[in-house]
Amino acid sequence: MTKMGRAAVMTAQKKDLEFIEYPLPEVEKGCILVKITCCTICGSDVHSWLGHRPAPVPIILGHEIVGKIVELGRGVTHDSADRSLRVGDRVTWTIMDNCGKCYYCRDKGLPMKCQNLKKYGHDSCETPPHFKGGFAEYCYITPGTCVFKVPDSLTDEEVAPANCALGTVIAAWEAAEVKPFENVLIQGAGALGFYASALASHYGCRKIIVTDILDHRLDFIKRFGATDTINVRNMKDDEIVDAIKSLTDDHGVDCAMEVAGVPGLIPLGLKCLRIGGRFVEVGCAFPGADFTYDACDIIFRRLTIRGIHNYDARHLKAGLDLLEMRQKDFPFREIVTHRISLDDINKGLRIAESGEAVRVAVIM
């Protein structure tokens, strides 16, 4: 008899997820079947559920996943850090399966934009192997995915957000070419902001300035290495720029990262840069995030703007290394603020939507 597994499936946007049982796939060459132990709810899961961004249906959402290996397909002996893999090992893996052969994979160093891209939690689950997302008992990992064994010292809840939030932030600071002793601005004190602050601190940045509108989030981010926080709720843009300049010898910051997902923060962040400063946009990963800016300022002040969406396997590996190296220095363990079972996934999505949680973890 075929073994079945449960999944919480989105069949229409804004509708409660439905529980559906699918047959577990036969594990083919190069593939891995994982029993999911934890999946954190990412902001983009909520955006997909609410219809703010397109998603095929039916779909198993959830891409910040950790689990235990149930079965290894033929030929799978090691993870992407060359460590041996066995049934029962705890693993996480890249958000994408990419082909390694197309124009973007092979020639342009952009595997996350592979022309044959598959993404966990982003593709329809209608056809076998069905288990392509995190809000389920199992996940089927296909050969173009980079898998990493999880260090024993890290909890599932610490590791799960590495798969999207932390990996992306590592790619973003890399794109901004952050260097030791530089001054940085982080716009937004949510999960991405916490990781961005911890990483800037790890890299040896001098001033790590964070803006947000919630005091408790700004207090919390100080524990991730933020040196200066500003509650901008009742401040005009000019006042914010002045405040940032006064913290940076009147120059402005070397780098800024927008992780709040508010388009209006982009012009403000650009104004906070020093001459020659670099801006990296991460938060507004949804259509219609328009902003206006005077191109003359970009030219005269020699500014750079980079967009970062997802990451490469090395960024996920670096994220796991960061968690392991600095887990005593930064409260990564407290980023998950709410825990629910798979049965309560709809409740979990509502908590995530309400903004009261930093990360909601679905514990299987």
44/187 with CB nearer Zn ion: 44
DSSP 227-295: SEEEE-TT--HHHHHHHHHHTTTTS-EEEEEE-S--TTHHHHHHHTEEEEEEEEE-S--STT------H
Q: Could you tell me the smallest distance in angstroms from the CB atom of residue 229 to Zn ion?
A: 25
- Give the per-residue contact string, 70-99, with Zn ion (x = CB under 5 A; - = no): ----------------------------xx
Q: Give the C-alpha separation, 333 to 335, whole Å.
A: 6
CA–CA gap between residue 279 and residue 182 (Å, rounded): 13
* Using rule CB under 5 A, residue 110 touches Zn ion: no
User: Taking the complex as a whole, how short is the minimal distance between the CB of residue 103 and Zn ion, in angstroms?
Assistant: 8
- The whole-angstrom separation of Cα 50 and Cα 346 is 12
Candidates 67-75, 111-119, 122-130, 320-328: pick the segment binding Zn ion (CB under 5 A): 111-119
**Smallest distance from Zn ion to CB 27, Å:** 23
- Span near Zn ion by CB under 5 A; candidates 36-44, 179-187, 281-289, 307-315: 36-44
Question: What is the distance between the alpha carbons of residues 3 and 25, in angstroms, rounded to a whole number?
Answer: 9
Distance CA 314, CA 134 (A): 21
DSSP per-residue codes, 19-60: EEEEEPPP--TT-EEEEEEEEEEPHHHHHHHHTSS---SSB-
The nearer residue to Zn ion, 75 or 100, going by C-beta atoms, is 100
Instruction: Please tell me the distance from the alpha carbon of residue 133 to that of residue 61, in angstroms, as a whole number.
Output: 5
CB neighbour class for 16 (10 Å; exposed up to 12, middle 13-18, buried from 19): middle
Q: How far is CA 353 from the centre of its chain?
A: 16
Shorter beta-carbon distance to Zn ion: residue 103 or 300 = 103
**Cβ(149)–Cβ(90) below 8 Å:** yes
Q: Which is nearer to Zn ion, 198 or 303 (CB)?
A: 198
Cβ closer to Zn ion: 89 or 157?
157
Binding segment toward Zn ion, per CB under 5 A, in 16-24, 29-37, 104-112, 175-183: 104-112
Contact 35, 363 (CB under 8 A): no
Among 24, 33, 36, 44, binds Zn ion (CB under 5 A): 44
145 binds Zn ion (CB under 5 A): no
Q: How far is the CB of 43 from Zn ion (least distance, A)?
A: 7
Over the window 221 to 240, marking each residue x when it contacts Zn ion by CB under 5 A and - when it does not, the resulting string is: --------------------
Q: β-pairing, 359-363 with 336-341? A: parallel
- Specify the residue, 102 or 305, whose C-beta has the smaller distance to Zn ion: 102
In the list 8, 147, 164, 313, the residue contacting Zn ion (rule: CB under 5 A) is 164
Maximum Cα–Cα distance for the chain, whole Å?
71
Among 59, 76, 105, 255, binds Zn ion (CB under 5 A): 105
Residue 61 binds Zn ion (CB under 5 A): no
Q: Pick from 73, 20, 282: which is nearest to 175 by CA?
A: 282
Considering only the stretches 27-35, 110-118, 222-230, 260-268, report the one whose residues sit in contact with Zn ion under the rule CB under 5 A: 110-118
Neighbours of 289 (CB within 10 A): 14
Token pair belonging to 229: 């926080």
- We find the least distance from the C-beta atom of residue 83 to Zn ion, in angstroms, to be 25
Residue count, binding to Zn ion (CB under 5 A)? 8
Q: Does 42 bind Zn ion (CB under 5 A)?
A: yes
Based on CB atoms, which residue is closest to Zn ion, 9 or 166?
166
Instruction: Give residues in contact with Zn ion (CB under 5 A).
Output: 42, 44, 98-99, 102, 105, 114, 164
